[in-house]
Copies of this chain bind each other. A is one copy, B any other.
Amino acid sequence: MRIQIIGFGVIGQGLARVLLRKEEELRQRYGLEVSVVSITDISGTAHAEEGLDLRKALSVARETGAIVNYPGAKEMSGVEAIEEIEAELVVEATPSNIKTGEPGLSHMLAGFKAGKHVVTSNKGPLALKYRQLVSEAERNNVEFRFEASVGGAMPVINLARETLSGDRITAIEGILNGTTNYILSRMTREGLSFEHVLREAQELGYAETDPTYDIEGIDTASKLVILANAIMGIDATFSDVKIRGITRITPEAIRLAKERGYVIKLIGEVKNSHLEVSPRLVPETHPLNVDGALNVAMLHCDVAGEVTVVGKGAGAIETQSAILSDIIAIWKKVKG
């Protein structure tokens, strides 16, 4: 299977590392031989018909920060690479942009138009243009999978759509952002203020320099939109979500909750076509009470009752679990 990687930051490089590590295993378990025929980043595109040397690509990226320094690479954009290079599948792994969805949106649409399957970790385009993307994929008769766009290594989309195939999902609640969960968990455990824990999290690199997306609930809302569309078939977009973040949570509120056997968590919920992100009281022994940077989603099912899945919300390697399983699912489907 000939694959193009568009975006060669944390996620793209993580994929290259895991493909190197799993080469033999993928062949043995699934008869799948992955050949990465091109890698594109902002600097250009490395391309080799017979497959790139992933070790070399990783060392070029590490040492120079620009894939254009790979031998023979050109100043070719992602869209050009998708249009011009022969391949079956595009992995879109550029950074998420919740305002325009670009450049991911153009990459995905170019992929569909070129008759290529698309696997992505990029939630921006999905939170903005879910219907358009899915219908373009259908129109071009290609697969479009995006497990990695929500919850990193927490496999909630494929769990709901495939593993729980006999159930209709009637509501979803979850903690979909690891940074805010880390902040709230530390505030709970140590009685510290929001500002104090946020500053420490930024110093440790757990929170962005501009933490707005996380702490104001925007990241959670983007993921909630994807779940509402992909799992419940609700035609929602980012602007439909009612959002309140965690910036006004005080140690006192947390302490009062604790005395009554509750914790405060930033919960995204979709129920009766209503999408909301807000801090909520969760009973201490409830499955949604997970600690640290974990993500969790509780699916309300019409047969199974509640099914909850917990996993790491991010991570260069962990997220590859989702990308790999999407690639394997497409491989199984196309080989028949």
Contacts and interface: CB of A to CB of B under 8 A. Distances in A.
Interface of A: 18, 22, 25, 30, 153-155, 158-159, 162-168, 185, 284-287, 289-291, 294, 296, 301, 303-312, 315, 317-318, 320-325, 327-329, 336
A47 B285 CA distance: 47
A166 B320 contact: yes
Which 9 residue pairs across A and B have the least CB separation, nearest first? A166-B324, A304-B321, A153-B304, A308-B310, A285-B291, A303-B321, A165-B328, A307-B311, A166-B325
A71 to B, nearest CB: 30
A307 B30 CA distance: 22
B312 A305 contact: yes
A170 to B, nearest CB: 13
Copies of this chain assembled into the complex:
2
Contact of A328 (B153, B166, B306): B166
Given A165-B325, A318-B303, A159 B153 contact: no
Contacts of A168: 25
A24 B214 CA distance: 42
Contacts of A308: 309-311
A317 B167 CA distance: 11
Contact of A162 (B22, B162, B285, B296): B162
Contact of A305 (B163, B291, B296, B311): B311
